[in-house]
Structure 1
Amino acid sequence: MNRPPKLRISALVVARNEAARLPACLASLGGADEIVVVLDRSTDASAEIARAHGARLVEGGWELEGERRNAGIAACSGDWILEVDADERVPPELWEEIRRVVAASPHGFHRVRIDNYVGDRLILHGWGGSFGTTLKPVLFRRGAKHWRGQRVHPGLDWTGPEGAALEGERITAHGIRHEVDRDISDMLRRLDRYSSAKAADLLAAGRIGSLPDNLRRCLSRIIKCYVGRKGYREGGWGLLIALCAGLFPLLSHLKARLEPERHRPAAPR
């Protein structure tokens, strides 16, 4: 009896000037059949590092996060794609899970567990509100995932159903190690970057919202992350994450409202 052909998996990394973190990320992708690295206006040694790991390079300049990620997806040739960031690591045990699932999956995509680290500390609870997640839809069939055109946290369009939360189909026994922030200062810098990019998206869409609405969003996100997502179990770290998650939409609104000249996207040439 003929065996079905082995399904090929592409690992996709989208990065910009990530020479410090790219080597560890690429070294963890040995379970893939090919590695595709998208470099967006990188000026450091990222390209040389990617080539040294045998990756296929896609270089260019994209204003929108969704566009650069779609360019990477288009460059992948595998039957399935695992999309990771330069600050993420995929352990060998997770590759075993991924191979087992895709070999039998009839679905379009699956969510994968994310283990978030601040420095050397694993923080399990409290992530949410566009500031972090513990489960991401990063494993998908080629052609099933399309990013929308936004600068930060772009939306997604899917073709095909999500893998059901059944034993044997979910990928949760092992997680991707996400070195999300180095320390508190790094976390606050990330909040500043995210809110500036979101302010540009709000201005581009012509919908910056109102102050009362964003105050309500701020408070509801803090409560959801700290209470609903059990951030209280992480002590002060959980409170800090909840505050950042809540402040993200409020800061984005205030930047767009008070400093539009600093955050309004440049007109296309």
Structure 2
Amino acid sequence: MSASQPMLSGVVTTFNNAETLDRCLASMAFCDELVVLDSGSTDGSQAIAEAHHAKLFIEVFKGYGPQKQSAIDKCVGEWILLLDADEFLAPGAAEVIRDRLAAPDAEGYRLSRDEWLFWRWPAPGTRGNRQLRLFNKSAGAMNAVPVHAAPEVNGQVRDLDARFMHFGEPELAVRVEKINRYSSGLVAHSARKQKRFMAARLIFYPWIAFLKMYIGKRYFLNGWAGFFAARTHAFYAFLKYAKVHEARQKSARDQAL
């Protein structure tokens, strides 16, 4: 770290991620410190973290957002680089991040994430999903959204020309199981928002979600893998609203009894 650069902390939360953690931490080796918060892994994840000289902490899992926030709170750095254990920075990303932190012009930065599509990485031209993963610790914190908890920043957020890769699910069955689990985890949170036009959302939004991904983000460039990804994304969009509608119907029935 030069005198002109702020300290950067790389943050990862883990639970039995031995297959992907080594590559994740290796890509973050340029950080001034690595903080790994483990939930009690039994597969060697903790040994991998120690091999990368990370500051290793072990805590019972408190939920996606609270667990990541606990890891962030343990950091010394002024800036946070947040990755999941099944993600890693693409070549060149470290240099881009360091160059930007030499003269930051925002409180947070969105990086582009490339998703593993069952049996392949996306083709050139596929548009990644931009996510806020680099932010000033004093201005950012995890939100309270269950399952999809993400950092939020009080201040300017800009896009950064740096990519990171997400291994994702290697099989369609695993992807569908995750979709089912995540959509169930969002029911209570989504139901509290009192979303309007539920019938229209159930009928039309899955198709909109499919077209936005398959055409808008050019997943059609990835053959059947891209089609499968867009269709499962649409199915997730359907399940989110279908389960909220189901919960409301059950609640109305129980109140009528």
Normalising by structure 1, we get a TM-score of 0.79
| Partner residue in 2 for 1:53 | 52
Q: Please give the per-residue CA displacement for 1:59-83, whole angstroms capped at 9, x wherever unaligned.
A: 2234431111111111111121111
The count of aligned residue pairs is: 245
Unaligned runs of 5+ in 1: 128-132, 261-269
Do the aligned partners of 2:10 and 2:33 also contact (CA within 8 Å) in 1?
yes
Matches within 5 A, 1:139-158: 139-154=134-149, 156-158=151-153
Matches within 5 A, 1:95-174: 95-118=94-117, 121-124=120-123, 133-154=128-149, 156-163=151-158, 170-172=160-162
| Partner residue in 1 for 2:253 | none
Cα displacement (A) at 1:253: 3.6
Which deviates more from structure 2 when the two are superposed, residues 44-53 or residues 107-116? 44-53
What CA distance in whole angstroms lies between the structure 1 residues aligned with 2:47 and 2:60? Answer: 18
Give the letter for the 1:216 counterpart: F
Do the aligned partners of 1:202 and 1:256 also contact (CA within 8 Å) in 2?
yes
Do the aligned partners of 1:232 and 1:238 also contact (CA within 8 Å) in 2?
yes
Q: Classify 1:92/1:235 alpha carbon distance in 2 versus 1 (closer, same or farther; 3 Å).
A: closer
Normalising by structure 2, we get a TM-score of 0.82
Name the SS of the counterpart of 2:12 in structure 1: strand
What CA distance in whole angstroms lies between the structure 2 residues aligned with 1:156 and 1:227? Answer: 28
What CA distance in whole angstroms lies between the structure 1 residues aligned with 2:195 and 2:126? Answer: 27
What CA distance in whole angstroms lies between the structure 1 residues aligned with 2:201 and 2:40? Answer: 36
Cα displacement (A) at 1:102: 0.7
Unaligned runs of 5+ in 2: 249-257
Identity %: 26
CA-based RMSD: 2.7
Give the letter for the 2:86 counterpart: D
Matches within 5 A, 1:102-251: 102-118=101-117, 121-124=120-123, 133-154=128-149, 156-163=151-158, 170-172=160-162, 175-199=163-187, 201-202=189-190, 205=192, 210-251=198-239
Name the SS of the counterpart of 1:25 in structure 2: helix
Give the letter for the 2:166 counterpart: H
Cα displacement (A) at 1:244: 1.5
Cα displacement (A) at 1:32: 0.9
Name the SS of the counterpart of 2:155 in structure 1: coil
Do the aligned partners of 1:208 and 1:253 also contact (CA within 8 Å) in 2?
no
